[in-house]
């Protein structure tokens, strides 16, 4: 199955779910397929591991990255630029929003309601079963309700991200797929795609995975580690 996604796509999820890595790699994947991509960093909660940390690599690939003003780049402040409102009022290709974690991070979306009025949105919840609070179906649904209440938006799909960085195994990905499917079914929304570390993509037994798979090349790393080279992240086909 090919991963095709366009329009306004909002990435939400629990703190530590890996949603920013997902947003970055999704932007790279769709850019490589010829889709114009604009990616806005709306993470106003976590001062570390935000989309802005990968801005130079993304811009080298031709991805338009919308960030706070330079003087506020490292600030933990609720700063929304006119450029963000503009990209929502006049979307093209893929307009991707990376939102802060938990319901607190999702609060910023309520401030953008006017800019998104009348637009068709995909609001995708990243779930990671290896994180506290979202390691059960009930926990994921509880997080969904909290995010929806603060964002004043309805989550429309699930992204499964059963990632524990270097320790991730093929069994983790397969088990995470089953879990994500259960969450999607319990919430009566689709499982849009799952992720896997790029190194596992060719080794992954995909015969029982019935959704697209996005390969992740890790960008948000501690200072003593080097980020993976960003390139066209292929999505796995089933069959």
Identify the pLDDT of residue 203.
85
Identify the pLDDT of residue 222.
43
Mean pLDDT of 87-93: 84
Q: 88 versus 143: which is more confidently predicted?
A: 143
C-alpha–C-alpha distance, residues 133 and 8, integer Å: 28
Identify the pLDDT of residue 44.
63
Q: 58 versus 177: which is more confidently predicted?
A: 177
Q: 77 versus 112: which is more confidently predicted?
A: 112
Q: Which domains does the chain have, with CATH numbers?
A: 7-233 (3.40.50.300)
pLDDT at 173 over 50: yes
Which backbone phi and psi does 184 adopt, to 5 degrees?
Answer: -60, -45
C-alpha–C-alpha distance, residues 180 and 140, integer Å: 9
Mean pLDDT of 138-146: 96
Q: 171 versus 54: which is more confidently predicted?
A: 171
Kind of pairing, strands 191-197 and 157-160?
A: parallel
Identify the pLDDT of residue 218.
77
Identify the pLDDT of residue 221.
44
C-alpha–C-alpha distance, residues 215 and 195, integer Å: 6
- What is the per-residue pLDDT across 30-71, written as a single tens digit (0 to 9) for each? 999 999 999 988 876 554 444 556 677 788 888 888 875 544
pTM of the predicted protein model:
0.85
Mean pLDDT of 118-124: 91
């Amino acid at each position: 199955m090919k991963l095709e996604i366009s329009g306004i796509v909002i990435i939400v999820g629990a703190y530590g779910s890996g949603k920013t890595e997902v947003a970055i790699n999704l932007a790279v994947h769709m850019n490589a397929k010829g889709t114009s991509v604009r990616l806005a960093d709306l993470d106003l909660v976590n001062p570390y591991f935000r989309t802005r940390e990968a801005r130079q690599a993304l811009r080298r690939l031709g991805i338009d990255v919308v960030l706070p003003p330079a003087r506020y780049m490292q600030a933990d402040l609720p700063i929304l630029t006119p450029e963000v409102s503009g990209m929502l009022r006049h979307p093209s290709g893929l307009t991707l929003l990376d939102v802060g974690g938990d319901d607190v991070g999702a609060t910023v979306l309520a401030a953008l309601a006017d800019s998104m009025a009348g637009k068709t949105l995909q609001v995708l919840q990243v779930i990671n079963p290896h994180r506290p609070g979202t390691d059960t179906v009930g926990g994921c649904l509880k997080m969904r309700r909290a995010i929806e209440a603060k964002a004043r938006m309805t989550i429309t799909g699930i992204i499964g991200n059963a990632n524990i960085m270097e320790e991730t195994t093929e069994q983790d990905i397969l088990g995470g797929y089953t879990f994500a499917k259960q969450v999607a079914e319990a919430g009566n929304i689709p499982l849009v795609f799952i992720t896997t570390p790029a190194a596992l993509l060719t080794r992954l037994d995909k015969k029982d995975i019935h959704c697209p798979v996005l390969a992740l090349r890790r960008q948000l790393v501690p200072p003593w580690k080097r980020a993976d080279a960003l390139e066209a992240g292929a999505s796995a086909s089933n069959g």
